[in-house]
Structure 1
Amino acid sequence: MSDGLEILHRPRGWFARASRIADIRRIDRVWLLLAAALALLALIDTDQAARSVAFTADALLGVAVFLLLSIGVAAYAKASGADSLIARAFSGRPAGMILAAALMGALSPFCSCGVIPLIAALLAMGVPLPAVMAFWLASPIMDPSMFVLTVGTLGTGFAVYKTFAAVAIGLLGGFGTWALQSAGALQTPLRDGVGNGGCGASAVRAPKAVVWRFWEEKERRKKFRANALFNLNFLGKWLTLAFFLESLMVAHVPADLVVGLVGGDSVLPVVIATLVGVPAYLNGYAALPLVGGLLDQGMAPGAGMAFLLAGGVTSIPAAIAVYALARPPVFAAYLGFALVGSLLLGLLFNALA
């Protein structure tokens, strides 16, 4: 009898273990990475692990108000349908379209998953590439959530200039693309077989009226709640990881080394920060406290700005997505406008700081 019961219990135990493995796989990889890093640090240096936890918790409390406000702004835009207003930016004369697209790119609250499919939708619908390029370049750099969190971590002046820089890089790319097309280049932007669907694209295909009082509709309340929870996890994980990395950087990166590489008022630190921003960039939100820590250790303001601008547009994940979508000449133009714009605006910020 006991043998029979043991046999019956074995599958249950196997299924329980399989279930636990499945639960682990469903955990976000960033949280898993953070947990693994903290566990490894605790084994190597218990005191530093405790200091890093305290540093991270204190930093998160310091930006909690800004974090919650940014989550609310993004969720409200999604629930009310305000994101559909982007469709109005892509009509009219070329110069007006480019200006509107750059402004909308810097100010619109689009999620990161929506930018690439949205660009595919716009191009497949025949929207001119110059306007799309302006939006494409400006959008990853700044949005309302990013602005609020930048104010909380780096200050109002930094946030305002970064918004201006996002629009400026968008305009550089838009008018630069217009000039290239006038010379006969970049006539076929999309790769063969690229569709026009995906997250965010429906807002352009069929823009609907904005329902500002979204709470009066059950479905919109559900959308608000779902988007808020998604952004809470998204922003929370990247900020937690960023503050944890900052705690290690403060503890182990000599200030003299930072000052030597990217400190001072010369052109070289800004050039280095622009080039380093491409492979080293983690995430727009995660980079903010990291740059804040570097600035405290002597990083030149213009270098910090150039790092945020170049990394926001040309980080490896974003660049791979763009390369998969656009033909090589368009991809090269995208990278060129991003790097040149980031360098010039970083130098200007250094001069103004």
Structure 2
Amino acid sequence: MVMIERSLSGPSRTSLWVTGIWRKEKPWLAVILILLGLWMFDAGQAGQSLDLMLRQLASVAPFLAASVLIAAWANATGADGLIARAFVGAPAAMIIMGALAGALSPFCSCGVIPLIAALLVMGVPLAPVMAFWLASPLMDPAMFALTTGIIGFEFAVAKTLVAIGLGLFGGSVVHLLVKVNGLSAPLREGVGNGGCGGARVRSPQAPVWRFWHEPERLARLRREGVRTALFLLKWLALAFLLESLMLAYIPAERIVQTLGGEGLSPIVLATLFGVPAYFNGYAALPLIATLMEQGMQAGAGMAFLIAGGVTSLPAAIAVWVLVKPRIFALYIALSLIGAFTAGLLFQLWKLF
């Protein structure tokens, strides 16, 4: 009787297991359900979406692998404390270096996510990380050359300056908020113990470079690497799958064609449409160039490329699951303000 009462009053092992799986593996379950739904109602698109998701994952795999290995190695050796301490002191210099490094790095808005996760887990302060985060997806040597060839040298130079300026702006705002105790512990629970200064900076320990001689540190390397890789992989997979649906069912031309006209409204609309933009900067360049030739304001084109480059849908989802909601809101707000300001200033430059 007691056993029967327990089975009726409490959850079964199966229900607890299912609940645990749902809590931990919601992204994978969502991917499976979306693909099953597509297969039932649009089998052709199911294959295309799966193919795009896998190709996108493959494109960011080198960045993902490098960042996961660096984070796991730093955790196993204790070198994460040294790396984090390198960002302590001289906040202005660190923000400037973060913005410059971001503007020259070859990361897209999704490819930079694993590196940002590794830096925050190590305890690197949020201000220089945010500077790098905002500047990195906007410009790199290849993007500069392609932008020059498609839109023009002036536009490429302006976009480079915007990338650096947005990084400096975002890093400075975050630094001021940290000083007034407005931000702390940016990562979500279970992602890491980084933050503005980080526990590893507050309690530094001497690193153990030959960590492979200690079984516990080897186990930590494997555990941290697998945990971080799986966490990032499942959310990026869902993000890229959603990107494929937007590509299939919401043509890019339909969105961007609404951005014509004169005055301030095209820049505002370009900023708002650019935030959930689902194609990368390379794919957007020819489309923006064509629309500019047809009369679209140069400022609107700049605003669209900046907003879309920093906060494309896959990147926004990855940021959402990586940091706490208020950090995500700040990231979006900085992107919106930066994109609109860049578009407005570039338009004024073109006029005068």
- After the TM superposition, which of the residue ranges 201-210 and 255-264 deviates more from structure 2? 255-264
Is structure 2 residue 87 aligned with structure 1 residue 89? yes
Q: For residue 131 of structure 2, what is the aligned residue in structure 1?
A: 138
Counterpart AA for 2:45: Q
* CA distance in structure 2 between the partners assigned to 1:81 and 1:321 by the alignment: 29
Q: For residue 181 of structure 2, what is the aligned residue in structure 1?
A: 190
Alpha-carbon distance change, 196 to 17 in structure 1, aligned in 2, over 3 angstroms: closer
Q: For residue 234 of structure 2, what is the aligned residue in structure 1?
A: 237
TM-score (norm 2): 0.59
Which of 277, 280, 287 is the equivalent residue of 1:298? Answer: 287
> What's the % identity of the aligned pairs?
32
Mapping of residues 151-166 of structure 1, within 5 Å: 157-158=142-143
* CA distance in structure 1 between the partners assigned to 2:210 and 2:162 by the alignment: 33
Alpha-carbon distance change, 15 to 306 in structure 1, aligned in 2, over 3 angstroms: closer
Q: CA deviation at 1:199?
A: 0.9
Q: CA deviation at 1:111?
A: 2.5
In the TM superposition, what whole-angstrom CA distance separates every residue of 1:115-147 from its partner, at most 9, and x where no partner exists?
7x969xx7xxxxxxxxx6x336325447xxxx7
Mapping of residues 131-280 of structure 1, within 5 Å: 134-135=127-128, 137-138=130-131, 140-141=133-134, 157-158=142-143, 168-173=165-170, 189-190=180-181, 199-200=193-194, 201-261=198-258, 271-276=268-273, 280=276
In the TM superposition, what whole-angstrom CA distance separates every residue of 1:162-203 from its partner, at most 9, and x where no partner exists?
99877643433555789xx8xxxx7972269x7999812212
Count of residues in correspondence between the two structures: 297
Unaligned ranges ≥5, structure 2: 106-113, 146-155, 290-300
Q: CA deviation at 1:275?
A: 3.4
TM-score (norm 1): 0.59
8 A Cα contact 2:64 2:115, kept in partner: no
8 A Cα contact 1:141 1:166, kept in partner: yes
* CA distance in structure 2 between the partners assigned to 1:63 and 1:97 by the alignment: 26
* CA distance in structure 1 between the partners assigned to 2:94 and 2:165 by the alignment: 14
* CA distance in structure 2 between the partners assigned to 1:219 and 1:159 by the alignment: 46
8 A Cα contact 1:306 1:342, kept in partner: yes
* CA distance in structure 1 between the partners assigned to 2:55 and 2:115 by the alignment: 28
In the TM superposition, what whole-angstrom CA distance separates every residue of 1:283-334 from its partner, at most 9, and x where no partner exists?
xxxx7xx43696288256843343233577997775733499xxxxxx7xx8
* CA distance in structure 2 between the partners assigned to 1:309 and 1:35 by the alignment: 28
8 A Cα contact 1:99 1:171, kept in partner: yes
* CA distance in structure 2 between the partners assigned to 1:229 and 1:349 by the alignment: 45
Q: For residue 117 of structure 2, what is the aligned residue in structure 1?
A: 111
Q: For residue 40 of structure 1, what is the aligned residue in structure 2?
A: 37
Alpha-carbon distance change, 21 to 174 in structure 1, aligned in 2, over 3 angstroms: closer
8 A Cα contact 1:102 1:171, kept in partner: yes
8 A Cα contact 1:173 1:337, kept in partner: yes
Which of 43, 51, 55 is the equivalent residue of 2:52? Answer: 55
Alpha-carbon distance change, 135 to 187 in structure 1, aligned in 2, over 3 angstroms: closer
Q: CA deviation at 1:261?
A: 4.4
Q: For residue 127 of structure 1, what is the aligned residue in structure 2?
A: none
Counterpart AA for 1:320: P
Counterpart AA for 2:242: L
* CA distance in structure 2 between the partners assigned to 1:27 and 1:177 by the alignment: 31
Q: CA deviation at 1:99?
A: 3.8
Counterpart AA for 1:243: F
Q: For residue 293 of structure 2, what is the aligned residue in structure 1?
A: none
Q: CA RMSD in A?
A: 5.4
Unaligned ranges ≥5, structure 1: 1-6, 123-131, 282-286, 325-330
